[in-house]
Structure formats: C-alpha cells, structure tokens
Structure 1
Amino acid sequence: MLIYKSRVFDLYCMDMSSRHTPFEYVGHHGSCAALVLDKSDENNEVGLLAHHRPAIGRTLFELPARTLVPGRAIEDVMRNELYENTGLPIVARQLSKLTALYTSPGYSSELLTIFLVQLTRQQRQAADALRWFSLPELNRLILNQEIIDLKTVAAITAYQAVLWKGEGDEVL
C-alpha cells in the first residue's frame, strides 16, 4: 500500500503476515552514475564532481549521477546529467555499462546503473567541473574515509576489478 509519494521516491507498507510489524520500503525509479575516465596517459585518471550534500552537511567528491525519469532511456538521462554538470557532450559510443547494483536492498528498490565514460583528450581539457584523481590516489582517499559516497566507492572498485581481470576496455 502506498503511504507517501514524492518527486523522487514512494514509501510503501507491505503486510507481512509472518512478521509482527509491517514491512516498509522505498520504491525508487532507479538511478545512473558515470565513472568518467581519462586514459590519454597511462594514469587512468577518474574525474569526480564536488557536491554539497545537505543531509550530511558535507561536500563530497563523487560520480556524476541522476535519478531516472520514467519513460526516458537511461543512456539519455546519463548523457544529459554529464552535459548539465560538466558541459561535456557525450555520444552514445562513449557510454558502456560497468555494473548495476541495488543501493540499499534492505529497504529500497533503487537499482543504480554505473556507466564507464571514456573521454577524448579534448573533452578532458574542457572538463573544468571535474577534479581528476589517479587510481592510487582514489584508493588512498577511500581508505582514509575521504571518499565516502557509496556509488563512487563501488564504481572505483568495479573498474579496478575489470582492470585486474585483464579485460581492459571491455566491460559488462
């Protein structure tokens, strides 16, 4: 049963006869994010945005991301997000799916799809909104709890797993 409807999510209550209390969960349209990669040198640098997050009162370095819009193709939503936040016009062939995961399956149906976006040298030079980090830097920042956004940590981990497996540019 729908309890509350918002612009981003809906709150549902489900009667679970085997439980003492009803089960509440967040219904979500899903989201997408992009691991923006510059492979023009051998550093495999990743571009992150600085976003102020009022819920925790901090500014975080994280992937560009957007909640999905029902009826719009996920790739179009991702390209639009990248253009709005970085000014980068991304063509379809630059997007490849890296992974998809549920953000908090204990209480939410949100499925986050993470794309890999490989920039050209010219795009990298024009991407003023992004701050660039090497993979070793990102690992250090994650371990020091300076990068604490879950989607960003998951994307970096997934990308490094692809590199470790030796698939190079091939992703899911």
Structure 2
Amino acid sequence: MTQTADQPAFQPGDRVVLPPYGLGTVQGTCHRPMDGETQAYYQVEFANTSSRAFVPVAAPDGTGMRAALTARDMPALLASLKTSTLNLPRQWAARHRRVTEILASGDPFELAVLTCELRRWNVQRGLPDLDRQALRRAIRLLEQEVRGLDDQAAEHVQLILTTAWNEAPQVTAPAAS
C-alpha cells in the first residue's frame, strides 16, 4: 500500500501482520503525545485477545507491520509449502538461531519454506522438541493469515498445515532375519 501525506497506508478494517504478535486488524488511527509532540498512530487489535498495538502512521514498516496475505498470494504460498528446501544447519545452536530469525521476521514465504523443511525432517526422522515447537509456531503464524480467506488455494494451504501439525515420523519395521 502506498502512503501519501493525506492518505494513510492502512485503513480501518485492513488485515495486517505485526511481528511477533501476528495477525491483527486496523481499528483506526489516533493521536498520542510522544516527546512533546502529538503523533498519529494506527490502532491495531488482535483477535481473541485484549492486546492492541499502536504503530506510527509515518513509519509502519519500521515496526515490521505489513498487509496480510490475500487470496492472490495463495498460489505462491502453496508452492512454497509443497516444494521448498532450506539448508538449515545441523548444529543445534546455529539452526536455532536461523529458525528464530525466520519466526521473528513473520515473512509468510520464509515461514512456508521453514514449515516445508521441518515437516520433511519430521517425517523422515522425527524432530527434537525445540524444532517441533518451531514447526508448530510457523504453522500457527501461517494459519492466522490464511484463516478467513475464501479461496480454493487457501483451503489447500489450510489442509497442508493441518496435516503437517498432525504428522508423526514414519517408522520402518525392522527387517526379519
């Protein structure tokens, strides 16, 4: 969305994502004092909580706030969930650092790539607890954005996320002697 001096980038009712809080809705703008001056802020509220955030109208991208995904984004998101690969470090500390960066960014396409890779690891050999928690966090963040979109591709994304949430590692039976 393009912002002009007269027109804020976001309007009341717009779905937005504010990392690390997730999906919210712009309720409007308000003015609040800051450093002796009155500044304009978006008031963002988050469903099913009493949480709200105030984001500067002059620089919403400085906080990471962005427009939520739309139905037009679903084909690309679906492709990322199905076929992406991510070269995650095998060493836990380095992997944890990279996974934490992706989760904190809130970028849905990075989250989809992470979900795809961790899902593959989970099916192949199972995930350690912290990696499983990361997979579930990525799934929850993606589900928030996709929920409420009335689109066939969005429904397919939801199905993949639900399947990934419930998958267990494949267990191979020992060979008989």
- Range class of TM-score, shorter chain: under 0.3
| Structure 2 length-normalised TM | 0.24
Which structure has more relative contact order (CA 8 Å, sep 6+)? It is 1
Q: Larger radius of gyration, structure 1 or 2?
A: 2
The structure where helix makes up a greater share of residues is: 2
Scaled by the length of structure 1, the TM-score of the pair is: 0.25
- Greater per-residue strand proportion: 1
